[in-house]
């Protein structure tokens, strides 16, 4: 699983994502967490190219993750 999270997220506290990461790893699942300093819940907020949900870096990381597990060509 891959997760993207902003440190200033007002909807999902950072500790809940870290707790989930620990639980996933304890069960033997792969978990990749990317923390974005100063970003809120909508990581791409203010990005006029895309929606409020992502930006170029997030798209690249997500594509790389999917390719790594052969879920995307």
pLDDT tens-digit series, residues 15-60: 999 999 999 999 999 999 999 998 888 877 776 666 677 788 899 9
pLDDT of residue 21: 96
In which band, very low, low, confident or very high, does the pLDDT at 2 lie, cut at 50, 70 and 90?
Answer: very high
Query: Does residue 4 surpass a pLDDT of 90?
Result: yes
Sign of the alpha-carbon torsion through 59, 62, 67, 70: negative
Q: How much is the pLDDT for 34?
A: 95
CB 33 within 8 A of CB 21: yes
Domain boundaries, the chain: 2-68
Question: So what's the pLDDT on residue 32?
Answer: 95
């Amino acid at each position: 699983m891959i997760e993207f999270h902003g440190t200033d997220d007002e909807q999902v506290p950072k500790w809940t994502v870290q707790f989930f990461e620990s639980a996933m790893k304890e069960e033997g699942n792969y978990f990749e967490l990317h923390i974005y300093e100063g970003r809120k819940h909508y990581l791409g907020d203010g990005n006029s190219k895309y929606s409020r949900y992502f930006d170029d870096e997030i798209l690249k990381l997500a594509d790389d993750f999917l390719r790594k597990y052969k879920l995307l060509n």
